């Protein structure tokens, strides 16, 4: 079975996010003066072949811990792991 996983990686709270700060600093110039705490992270989407949903999720978890995120400074959240139904292995739309 083929699953598509979505993982969001973000900087831990309490660590300064220079990109977020820069974006936050730019928004008031465009008229949005009511914005604060802009944080920028990383979105990772991937497909994985697995025997079932549980196997897919635990593999995504392991990959996120080992490579997709750096646990020293980042946290990650698995947004979704869902089976791709009716798609050939070449399709990715």
Partner 1 sequence: MTRKPRIGVVTFPGSLDDRDALRAVTSMGGEGVPLWHAEHELHGVEAVILPGGFSYGDYLRTGAIARFANVMDEIRMFADSGGPVVGICNGFQILCEAGMLPGALIRNRGLRFVCKIATIRVETSLSPLTEGLVAGEVLAVPVKHGEGQFVAEGRALQRIEDEGLVAFRYCAPDGMLDDDQNPNGATNAIAGVRNERGNVVGLMPHPEHAVDPDVGPTGGQPLIASLLSFALARV
Binding of partner 1 by 72 (CB under 8 A)? yes
Please tell me the distance from the alpha carbon of residue 70 to that of residue 24, in angstroms, as a whole number: 24
Residues 3 to 62 in contact with partner 1, rule: CB under 8 A:
11-12, 14-16, 18-19, 22
Compare residues 56 and 69 and give the one whose CB is closer to partner 1.
69
Strands 42-49 and 74-83: unpaired
What is the distance in angstroms between the CA of the first residue and the CA of the last residue of the chain?
A: 17
Total of residues contacting partner 1 (CB under 8 A): 13
Q: How far apart are CA 82 and CA 8, in angstroms?
A: 15
Residues that bind partner 1 (CB under 8 A): 11-12, 14-16, 18-19, 22, 67-68, 70, 72-73
């Amino acid at each position: 079975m083929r699953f598509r996983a979505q993982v969001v990686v973000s900087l831990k709270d309490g660590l300064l996010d220079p990109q977020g700060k820069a974006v936050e600093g730019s928004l008031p110039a465009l008229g949005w003066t009511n914005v604060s705490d802009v944080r920028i992270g990383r979105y990772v989407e991937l497909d994985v072949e697995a025997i079932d949903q549980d196997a897919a999720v635990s593999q995504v978890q392991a990959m996120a811990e080992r490579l997709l995120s750096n646990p020293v400074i980042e946290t990650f959240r698995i947004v979704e792991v869902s089976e791709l139904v009716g798609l050939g292995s070449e399709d990715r739309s």
